[in-house]
Amino acid sequence: MSTGKTAKVLKTIKENETTTTVIMDVEDERFSSFRPGQFATIRIMENGEWSKPHPFTISGAPGDKLQMTIKRNGHFTSELIPALNDASQIQCAGPYGIFCKDIALKEEIVMVAGGVGITPFLSVLRHFKKTGAKNTCTLFWCNKTFADAFAASELEEMAESLKLTVIHVLSRETNPDMYYEEERPQIKFEKGHFSRDMLARHIHSTTASFYLCGPSGMQQTVVEELAAYGIAPDTVEKEAFVYNGA
């Protein structure tokens, strides 16, 4: 069985207290021609033994160096990932997965992300920016606070060149409107949890394609809210970051 290709860590970026981006060089053409939304597995050598492979979405665009944005969870993501450096031994396998497979063909796209579930959509939007895509995109990004939205500035920039509206849905901010800036009308704020009312306020299309990525509890609620708004659950393309540790 393939164990993956040797990768060299070029850089790690601490996005915030819980999330780190790792940028790697891998000698495998497939990692530069992957489809946005795909993931790869990585293994790290620890005390002379290879870890189990762990899956992470490729958060960069095709053609970029291999990039993954990883939130602390258990030992692998809390201890091994933040400690990576250019001497670390690491192996990557992939790319895998079909999430967002045909997204570039959809004229109107609605993306709903929970926390680090933004990673496939970052890849899609980074790719759209590179290619000058004309798709109309609405991104609901659900976080506890605005400080958790580590890619907020990049999304602001993207909204200047793409047909992109970003709605930050913030569950623990008492007054999220304080972040609204008149000169950036495409960056909007909502208080609470994702809801059918938010959809009604921001989505005016009946033909949009829906994509969802986030923790399983949040996915359940979002699917229910989408259904209440008239979007059939089986038409929503979903990626759950559920991993069985095999």
Ligand X SMILES: Cc1cc2nc3c(=O)[nH]c(=O)nc-3n(C[C@H](O)[C@H](O)[C@H](O)COP(=O)(O)OP(=O)(O)OC[C@H]3O[C@@H](n4cnc5c(N)ncnc54)[C@H](O)[C@@H]3O)c2cc1C
For ligand X, the closer of residues 113 and 166 by Cβ is 113
Provide the CA 138 distance to its chain's centre, in angstroms. 14
Q: Which part of the chain contacts ligand X (CB under 6 A), choosing from 130-138, 167-175, 220-228, 237-245?
A: 237-245
Among 113, 106, 123, CA closest to 38? 123
Among 119, 93, 104, 105, CA closest to 30? 93
Among 6, 18, 32, 73, binds ligand X (CB under 6 A): 73
Least separation in angstroms between residue 177's CB and ligand X is 29
Least separation in angstroms between residue 24's CB and ligand X is 14
Report yes or no: 143 and 17 within 8 Å, Cβ to Cβ: no
| Cβ-based neighbours of 11, under 8 Å, separated by 6 or more | 22, 23
Give the total of residues touching ligand X (CB under 6 A).
22
Q: Which part of the chain contacts ligand X (CB under 6 A), choosing from 63-71, 100-108, 135-143, 170-178?
A: 63-71
Among 5, 28, 50, 55, binds ligand X (CB under 6 A): 55
Q: Which part of the chain contacts ligand X (CB under 6 A), choosing from 4-12, 54-62, 162-170, 172-180?
A: 54-62
Among 76, 121, 128, 141, binds ligand X (CB under 6 A): 76
Q: Which helix (H) or strand (E) holds 7?
A: strand 5-14
| Cβ-based neighbours of 108, under 8 Å, separated by 6 or more | 135, 136, 205, 207, 208, 209
Least separation in angstroms between residue 68's CB and ligand X is 6
Residue type, 228: A
From the number of C-beta atoms within 10 Å of its C-beta (0-12, 13-18, 19+), residue 240 rates as middle
Residue 31 sits in the site that holds ligand X (CB under 6 A): no
Residue 14 sits in the site that holds ligand X (CB under 6 A): no
Q: Which part of the chain contacts ligand X (CB under 6 A), choosing from 74-82, 123-131, 150-158, 196-204?
A: 74-82
Q: Interface residues for ligand X in 100-159 (CB under 6 A)?
A: 116, 119
Q: Please give the structure tokens belonging to residue 174.
A: 């008492």
Least separation in angstroms between residue 134's CB and ligand X is 27
**Spatial separation of the C-alpha atoms in residues 188 and 164, rounded to whole Å:** 11
Peptide bond into 95 cis (omega under 30): yes
Least separation in angstroms between residue 195's CB and ligand X is 25
| Cβ-based neighbours of 155, under 8 Å, separated by 6 or more | 125, 139, 141, 149, 164, 166, 187
For ligand X, the closer of residues 44 and 167 by Cβ is 44
Is 220 strand, coil or helix?
helix
Residue 241 sits in the site that holds ligand X (CB under 6 A): yes
Q: By the criterion CB under 6 A, which residues form the site for ligand X?
A: 39, 54-57, 68-71, 73-78, 97, 116, 119, 241-243, 245
